[in-house]
Amino acid sequence: MKKLTLLLVLLVAGGVCIAGCTTEENGEVLPTQTPEATETVPEEVTTPPTEEVTEEPTEEVTEEPTEEVTEPTANLVETAAGAGQFNTLVAAIEAAGLSEELSTGGPYTVFAPTDAAFAAIPAETLDALLASPDEELTEILTYHVVEGEYYAVDLANSVSLDTLQGTMLTISIDGDTVMVDGAQVIDQDIQASNGVIHVIDEVLVPIGVELPAATDGEMEEATEEMTEEVTEEMTEEETETPE
């Protein structure tokens, strides 16, 4: 029995020696074989061609021409005469000798009473004014004229304006209503080559000037003749054709 046990121990020891010899021979360590590494080549990545983007032509924007602003060519007297509602005023300007100044001077702002405004004055008084233009008539007319151009927007920001007569006009605003010394401005900003006209519904009389009383029955006839003469002159100028 002991012999059998000893034999098994010897067999086991011999197996261990045989196994050790496969890895170690004469004290040298034999290299172990490793599987050959295979180099992998990455697949070539092809990118799809990009589509060529063509820019669409932009539409050409053409600017519309701006309207040409034409300057008025008629002066203050011509503009008043052409309006048709200032016949008495134009006749008074002619009688007072102010036509040349209001035609070539300036610029001026004129507060122009209509024919209806002059009609509110008694005929005898109006006739007396036109018969003696160097006195009260000139004072009254120059009281309607201001040196410089004052449009509606300027009137809204004004309290008073100096006149050619020497005294001031008082400007008052009530909403959309513009008053000049008690007369209402019923139309505004009528442009002329040498100024601007505002239409008023009353004749303005400066402080210190008294309207004359009629003293002669022939004044009415003189007034009518003067008004007709001025009207005819303006009509002839309008109907004349250039050569």
What is the model's pTM? 0.63
> Above 90 in pLDDT, residue 202?
yes
Average pLDDT over residues 151-161: 94
Choice among 7-16, 25-34, 106-115, 138-147 with the minimum mean pLDDT: 25-34
DSSP conformation letters of 45-71: PPPPPPPPPPPPPPPPPPPPPPPPPPP
Number of domains composing the chain: 1
Contact indicator for 196, 189 with CB cutoff of 8 Å: yes
Tell whether 180 is covered by a domain.
yes
Residue 213 is assigned to a structural domain of this protein = yes
pLDDT above 50 for 50: yes
What is the distance between the alpha carbons of residues 150 and 195, in angstroms, rounded to a whole number?
9
Residue 149 forms part of a structural domain: yes
Q: How far apart are CA 70 and CA 79, in angstroms?
A: 15
Yes or no: say if 150 and 112 are a contact pair by the CB < 8 Å rule.
no
Average pLDDT over residues 219-223: 52
Residue 200's domain spans which residues? 76-231
DSSP one-letter code for 198:
E
pLDDT in tens, 64-77: 656 666 788 999 99
Does residue 46 fall inside a structural domain? no
8-12, 149-153, 191-195: segment of lowest average pLDDT: 8-12
Higher pLDDT pick, 20 / 84: 84
The answer to the question of residue 218 being in a domain is: yes
Using DSSP bridges, classify how beta strands 145-147 and 160-162 pair: parallel, antiparallel or unpaired: unpaired
Residue 142: inside a domain: yes
CATH number at residue 206: 2.30.180.10
Q: Which backbone phi and psi does 159 adopt, to 5 degrees?
A: -110, -35
| Least reliable range by pLDDT among 63-77, 122-136, 199-213 | 63-77
In-domain check, residue 6: no
Least Cα distance to 99 among 114, 85, 89 occurs for 89
Name the nearest CA neighbour of 118 among 126, 129, 107, 109: 126
Question: What separation, in Å, do the N-terminal and C-terminal C-alpha atoms of the chain show?
Answer: 165
